[in-house]
Chain A
Amino acid sequence: MNQKLALVLFAFAFIVAIVVGFGEKQDLRPAPAEFRAKFQETLLKPLRHADPALPSNPPARNPSSEHGDRRPAGAPPAEETGEPLTREAFVEKYGDRLRFEDYENRVIRVDGSGIPAEGFADTQKLDRFRPSDATEASARAREVFANARRLLGIPDEAEFIQHPPTTGEATAQSIFQQSENGIPLSPGGTVTILLGPDGEVRSIESSIYPKVEVANQASLERPEASREILYVTQSSPVAIVHHAYETRDRGVQKVVDAQTGAVLLERNRRVY
């Protein structure tokens, strides 16, 4: 008897739902927050004819990390990249007209932007290199980066994420981001390599931190619409970094401590 009553009530409710629910014009529009996320995700997907190098979805999450860290691009196989070179060997391989700028016994800048094409020997270029090809640009940049590590004062144990390159008809820019367990340091901690049309080194710019101390642990849950970073609260003589979550609300950047929730940085990043 109860089963029959339940069946009748269910049928009645179903009919009411149809009449009320579908008889009126429904607002099918998703809530603004959902809509925003939706179109922004669409925005981040590559267009059919877009440069394959962009846009830059982050690397996959690393399930083995206790913080769910992003998996670092990591050091590629040695045979692909080569070994760190001395300055003499680097110059011989990449260009004897490259200019070096030093700071505290390490190179912070290599400049070849003013060298004409003929200023690089054939051995300092790559045959059939295409700066518009993300794969080629990334591979060449990894080679340069590996060869330059010692010059840049990068400790052996230091870890870097390689961002997707910004490619172009004439040049390709690759950025290696210093990280700890896959979490990027920010701001700074980058090695930026600019390659010319023939794969020659046009510039290397370094803002790496030779010594890093992590000051806290991430114990708070990562808020929605944020990314986890190791925020650099002091850059010298030792870089002190905090696990933190970064958001940007219409250009207003906010970084909060991932352990205490304290605001470490709040800054208007709008460019008018």
Chain B
Amino acid sequence: MADLSRPSQLRFSFLPRSLGALAAIAVFASCAPKTGVKSTTGLAAYCPDSVSSSVIAGSTGSGKVFKLDPLVASGNASLSPGSSTLGNYTTTVTLPNLLGYGTLKGTYVDVITDACGESYGAYSTTNDFRYEHGDGRFAEVMNYHYGNQFRSDLASSSALYPSGSFLMIANCDVDDNAFYSQGTDSSGNLVDFVCMGRSTKYPDTTSFSEDGEVMMHELQHGTTGHAYSSVNDFNVFDFDEAGAINEGLSDFIGLIQGDSEVVSPFKNFEFSRWALGLLFDSSAMRGAAKCPVWTADYPTCSNYSKTPSSGFSATGKRISFAYPDGLGWPYAGYASGKNPKDVWASDLGFEEIHQTAPIVTGAMWEIYQSLVSSSADSATARHRAQLLLMETIKTLPQANASDPSPVTMPVLATKLNAMAATATAGAFSGAEQTSIANILSARGLTGLSSVGSGWASVGSITVAGHAGLFFNETSAVGPANNRMHAGEKGMIWFDIANSSANTAAAPLIKVTSSDSRVTFSGASKNPGYVSPTVAFIRYGKINGSNIVNALNNGTALDNVGITNSYFNGVNLYGVNSQTALYIEIGSGMTTGTTFNFTVQITPANGSGTETLTYPVTMQ
């Protein structure tokens, strides 16, 4: 039994060591800038006093950019984000598809900046946008160049969603991050935008707008969302597989859009070598390889296998990005040859959606590579891959009363195979269909080994007297001691044990409280809220004995120490609020009162739903 009785180790010690971690924390941060109400003081000196409301220039302009990012532009893998020489590596490019207002407003993207009070910064009656790197408007030009390049390419692929001009905010008021979301206009209509933030580590020399792959990543989030539904959300829970797919597809799009620009010594399957790779204390880079950067056989990943006994090893320090057992291992951030045990012990993002994305990224990248080999050229392959992907997204299931989070990686893989076979997204030859199917199977995304009936049981870990259940007070009555008391609010997780040899993938958890005085907090806390006594959540995975054995096949020095229960199989549970359910305990629940949580578990690779009962005695 693991020693999990020390709440100080479990309570929100989720230190941000990656972009994903920062994103997770931002959910609770009240740092959202207000739009439209900023003071006009503090605007950059270059902000135009006015801009034209009529056409004054042509549809083509020129500007200076980094080709993809400063590293690729310079060809120098040692270039520092703090270097004063970054400006030496810019290139002058043509800016097509402008609407002629003298701003960076075009058919496909519309670029503004927070440096000018959420308005236009770059302005030229001759469409001359050749700003030097030290000029804040350089970031705006980068946004236009890569935003236009990507979205016009989607149009060429018959895969442009949404069809209008997409708002991009350069020099956006957000630290160490970038994101896609929606705002509302004065009439309450939703408006899509991406926000390209700044670096707090290198505020004077670079920003997230200088990484072309990151811009296209964020724009693809908008594309994915609109291809899926103009109304319903793609991600439902903060840490569901739809979220991981969303991140993986955005990384993939960044890779294939940047593919033709990557030069030696850089790898075309590594995503965001600049922003994620260099703008943090340790690398948060991601990619499409079959194994992590820190394993010995990267980048060839010659030991890759979806079979746990060969693809994973504690003594061999071997990890494979195969579904589901390879989910959650960080892509980068550790020195080569790092022991998986040490990574497991120090990394707390095993269910975080950016960190669980590389399997999808990798499978899609390999499909693209396959299409490159069978298509006339790489541009044709890219267009085919993009159309295949967007048409597949359209067929993914929507949330319903039975499953509020129905998009999983196996579902995506099944739909990709089906789409390739129907010719709806263009004709794929028999050989191409076979190749796509083989790639998805090799990544473990199809043909999953299932967990048989009866695989689940209540986990053996007891915390503060609650068997199989961890309660973490967010509003305590008396000392916060993980014991349930009347009047308290808190977060709960359920320890679920898996007796199968195979890992239970993406288990959907439906929880019912037997006592109406123990209720689930509303949808602000629980996106899977159904009623006061019913709520859904989805866990990452619950290990089977095959992966447990593979990662504990050596000495105590090497063994990772994971087990086949949720509490000691995916993460250091409890630090990870995105898989918690939030409850409120009514005042009438006196000491000694008993009730049950009924937990119904439906994995992506199961034959049905398992039902477990967790009895609780008030303390």
Contacts and interface: CB of A to CB of B under 8 A. Distances in A.
Contacts of B522: 233, 264-265
A225 B37 CA distance: 13
Contacts of B391: 168, 170-171
B125 to A, nearest CB: 15
Contact of B394 (A114, A173, A222, A271): A173
Interface stretch (B126-134, B156-164, B362-370, B543-551): B156-164
20 contacts: A27-B49, A32-B119, A37-B36, A43-B165, A113-B415, A168-B159, A169-B387, A173-B394, A192-B229, A202-B424, A207-B399, A207-B400, A225-B184, A226-B188, A227-B187, A234-B530, A246-B184, A250-B193, A270-B181, A272-B19
A260 interface: no
B209 to A, nearest CB: 15
Contacts of A47: 107, 163-165
Given A166-B226, A249-B32, A54 B163 contact: yes
Q: Report the 5 A-B pairs with minimum CB-CB distance, sorted nearest first.
A: A251-B181, A227-B188, A114-B418, A205-B398, A33-B36
B338 to A, nearest CB: 26
Given A32-B37, A40-B185, A207-B232, 10 more contacts: A28-B50, A117-B423, A190-B231, A192-B229, A203-B397, A249-B34, A249-B183, A264-B524, A271-B235, A272-B19
Contact of B177 (A29, A103, A247, A272): A272
B49 A36 contact: no
B191 A170 contact: no
Contacts, number: 260
Interface string A202-234: 110111000000000000001011111000011
Nearest to B38: A32
Interface in A174-193: 175, 177, 187-188, 190, 192
Contacts of B110: 39, 43
A29 B119 contact: yes
A78 to B, nearest CB: 26
Given A43-B165, A236-B534, A249-B183, A205 B32 contact: no
Interface string A232-262: 0111110000000011111110000000000
A266 interface: yes
A179 B394 CA distance: 24
Given A190-B232, A249-B32, A236 B400 contact: no
Interface string A100-123: 010110001101011111000000
B109 to A, nearest CB: 11
Contacts of B414: 114
A51 interface: yes
Contact of A227 (B23, B112, B184, B530): B184
Contacts of A268: 26-27, 32
A249 B193 CA distance: 11
Nearest to B110: A43
B19 A54 contact: no
B48 interface: yes
Given A46-B164, A113-B418, A175-B231, A170 B398 contact: no
Interface string B153-193: 00000110111110100000000011111111111111101
A98 interface: no
Contacts of B34: 249-250
A175 B229 contact: yes
Interface residue tally on A, bucketed by range? 35 or more
Contacts of A236: 401, 530-531, 534
B185 A37 contact: yes
Contact of A187 (B158, B161, B232, B390): B232
A44 interface: yes
A56 interface: yes
A41 B187 CA distance: 9
A227 B379 CA distance: 42
Given A114-B418, A170-B391, A170-B425, A43 B158 contact: no
A161 to B, nearest CB: 10
B532 A41 contact: no
Contacts of A111: 397
A29 B48 contact: yes
Nearest to B47: A29
Nearest to B224: A271
Contacts of B112: 39
Contacts of B421: 114, 116
B233 interface: yes
Contacts of B163: 47, 50-51, 53-55
Nearest to B523: A265
B195 interface: yes
B158 A270 contact: no
B531 to A, nearest CB: 5
Interface string B27-54: 1000011111110100000001111000
B153 to A, nearest CB: 15
Contacts of B33: 250
A197 interface: yes
B435 interface: no
A36 B35 contact: yes
B602 to A, nearest CB: 13
Given A28-B49, A51-B163, A265-B522, A41 B185 contact: yes
